[in-house]
Amino acid sequence: MKSNNQNEGKFGFTGYAENWNGRLAMIGFVSALIVELVTGQGVLHFWGIL
């Protein structure tokens, strides 16, 4: 649902911010899966954290 309020902020718990949060989370999750499939090790092992 599109808001008619032009003063709606782009920060905080707004629909705009939540949409971007979801999109970036999906990109991060897919990236982690690709790293694991290509290298055969988890992301934390790939970065040398574990």
Residue 2 lies in a domain: no
Residue 13 lies in a domain: no
Q: Rounded to 5, what percent of the chain is helix, strand, coil?
A: 60, 0, 40
Per-residue pLDDT of the chain in tens (50 residues, 90 and over written 9): 565 555 566 677 888 889 999 999 999 999 999 999 999 998 889 888 88
The domain containing residue 35 runs over which residues?
19-45
- Intra-chain end-to-end CA distance of the chain, in Å: 44
Predicted TM-score of the model (pTM): 0.66
Domain count, the chain: 1
28 with 35: CB under 8 angstroms? no
Residue 30 lies in a domain: yes
